[in-house]
Copies of this chain bind each other. A is one copy, B any other.
């Protein structure tokens, strides 16, 4: 099969409809915390609040989303005001005295937990950058650039943050170069920064050199510092949806660089390898974890279907299709799109369930918690709209 122009037009309209009539209205305006600022996202399937705590990652991600909608879809004042609420909450409550950000705070903004990595910071970068573009607020732009510099420092200075593991068996994860690529891309796409181009290519080179294994057709989730496979349970654990997210970050870069053929080849290869590893031939959808050699995976939820690997795969397959025109990618896109909107989308209350059993039954009903909020799904719907809008031009 392939997609013709009418198919792609329909797909664009579908994503636009879902984003603006189903996903965004589930979260807004009710999640804006009019009392303390920021957002109240920990909600059950029908929108009932199950916890008023705030996950700092998701506060930043949502401020990014609202700013991005304002920048690219429509200049709605409530989106800009909503973004400002998140930005202010981040700045007033989510930084510790040592400059690091918290991970989890109370509704009022008191710290519950700080973690030993800096993903709160990367999401604060994209939030501030998109908000600076939307509002013209120069201090937000400065904050984005300053925090991006801090992230580079954390990413390149071993020992700057406390270690979780001893030095016996050093390892590095694909998560760091991935998140840094995407952070730099967002910064560049909104307010621009002279550091981005060079750093993006360095991090892509890291992934290509150390994580992509052509001999076994695989993208590793973690490796030794020299890129070798660590043949222990953790080192063997693959996260196909995550690697596929990395694939589309690289395809996005290919598109930015005038459809650079080497980057297209790299991104498509990563998608190919991890589709084979992650697609569930029995029930459909992308499985959470796999072992590189087929041994038992320790993480308990390894064969569940989470929402976000499906979102990332919908993006990656669509982008691979629009960049290469290969029928295979249209076919994969249709498979993952049909599966995901059938199984995850809540036809009664809107938005998606987050956690399905392997066979597609809903495992638990929360729409938002410490780890899920308005990010992967609305980003997918928004970005697929953009891909298709550009392609159809």
Chain A residues within 8 Å of B, Cβ to Cβ? 42, 44, 50-51, 53, 102, 106, 110-114, 164-166, 168-169, 232-233, 295-298, 300-304, 355, 357-358, 363-366, 369-371
Contact = CB atoms under 8 A, between A and B. Distances in A.
Nearest to A50: B295
A370 B300 CA distance: 12
B295 A165 contact: no
Contacts of A106: 168-169
A166 B112 contact: yes
Contacts of A166: 102, 110-114
Contacts of A363: 300, 302-303
Given A363-B300, A364-B302, A44 B295 contact: yes
A212 to B, nearest CB: 24
Of the candidates A42, A168, A169, the one having the most CB atoms from chain B within 10 angstroms of its own CB is A168
A263 B140 CA distance: 61
Contacts of A355: 300
Contact of A364 (B44, B102, B232, B296): B296
A304 B111 CA distance: 32
Contacts of A302: 363-364
Contacts of A112: 165-166, 168-169
Contacts of A364: 296-298, 302-303
A297 to B, nearest CB: 6
A255 B301 CA distance: 39
B51 A111 contact: no
Give 10 nearest A-B pairs by CB, closest first: A300-B301, A296-B366, A111-B166, A110-B168, A296-B364, A51-B233, A298-B369, A50-B295, A51-B232, A296-B365
Given A110-B166, A111-B166, 17 more contacts: A44-B295, A50-B295, A50-B296, A53-B233, A111-B168, A112-B168, A113-B164, A113-B166, A114-B166, A296-B365, A296-B366, A296-B369, A298-B371, A300-B300, A300-B304, A301-B301, A302-B364
17 contacts: A44-B295, A50-B233, A51-B233, A53-B232, A106-B169, A111-B166, A112-B166, A114-B166, A233-B369, A296-B366, A298-B369, A298-B371, A300-B300, A300-B301, A300-B304, A303-B363, A303-B364
A112 B358 CA distance: 32
Of the candidates A53, A112, A358, the one having the most CB atoms from chain B within 10 angstroms of its own CB is A112
A111 B51 CA distance: 38
Contacts of A44: 295-296
A88 to B, nearest CB: 20
B233 A42 contact: yes
A292 to B, nearest CB: 12
A233 B49 CA distance: 11
A122 to B, nearest CB: 21
